[in-house]
Structure 1
């Protein structure tokens, strides 16, 4: 007869090793994706292309940080792209000098915070679904933006935004440095602070949160405010990267940020995940977008490959959680 305790003892190390390896599934997938892309096209691993990818991942990563809070709280934020575009339009609405940077930052972040407050109020106080609430604010912001610009934004992005959005220091983009700072700050808030614990408890079960004395509505509203504020910052960074602003700057970031967050292990059912995983998801998306363009593939095939990689990465993550 086999000793049950011996069987468990033999199985234990194997499970432990499997668990340890599975925790690196997403980074392994990213490294493999980079390696395969480099083999197919050596230009992919050139210094200039790597620097370009880092420049591209920063704005998306900043949005993903805010989206992470909202998704952990059982929501989603479709208004982030419209907040980004509005912030970018504001960046060109002044004299184009560095003396206007503080005013631009305050107005843009203020609009992001106001959008987050409206989203949070609709979701918590009016019981509107996050999809409809954030879709509505997205459309309203578009309307205000088109009315303000008359459909054709004009003006110059201040040099400081150009520096942060498109320049590097010893090969490291300034916008990537900003992303790292924001990721560390909000990562600590989410993982170590009392508010972070309230976010996870509220996202896991709002009823339990209320029984524990947590103001679930307040926590949810703050989550949307964080998302709106970070989307505004990302819009300013992106305006510095592209240089020329139109009414659709940041278009598609609402879906890309959600996909990156979910791919990184942030559960749509709430209460699970972290910022680091979401950032890995953002990096995977940027690598895929860059690779299919670099390979010169037809547009239709590009879309198919992007979708396949997203599905594979998501399946890889889900498999390691089982």
Structure 2
């Protein structure tokens, strides 16, 4: 409706009201003043009329009891939501663990809210939930945006024909590992425990500066020295780097020899992936340093002792 027609309509209504007032008798008493409730109803009616003229819909009148019942039903659906999300599984369908060996779960489901902070429902009155791409609004009507987590920098490590020594003694040799992203390196030695090594700080670890130095990794554990030497640089960088070391002295393995591995856990149960299909035993000693075993000496066997002949009645004797 154009503004010209609206003004024309208002003028006509005013003229009609003035004519009705002029037609009333002069001695007629004025109508009694409306109560406060009636004034409010008239005001709401007038506002609804103006909204109808300008093409706007008035706010629907809702029964307070029905509104309370509706909110109670929505709240019951919210209360019924699980407090914990579904377990996080890896590609093999196994439960994923965080670095402290605790099970990992997806975020708990939350209701999807509109810009007024009210929970949204589908056509059947069922509560809609947030999705990864649609978080909706919070309870105060603020738009929620998905936080993009920055991917941590990867630490590739290459071990080629490596040798693991404990206090200068060779524990393993010809080790070959190609680690795309090192989280934690494990070196187990009997009597020492499992030494957990990382290139980044973690809880309970002690920094050992310049531990990664070119082709070697050297860490000290109490009075012991663990060293890993490779034919190629371990880290893909030129300058030395610190290592963060924690020793799990309570961890034991059935092996009598040192064991090396890597994984994503810094607490037991540790993951021990296998190396490449090469020998991981200590190198054979050269012939010139091999000990020569002496031939065993013959042991003299004493002759059997003579046995006494039986005597007495009923025995035969030579005459």
Same fold by TM (over 0.5)?
A: no
TM-score by structure 1 length? Answer: 0.22
Larger Rg: 2
TM-score by structure 2 length? Answer: 0.23
In terms of fraction of residues, the more helix-rich structure is 1
In terms of fraction of residues, the more strand-rich structure is 2
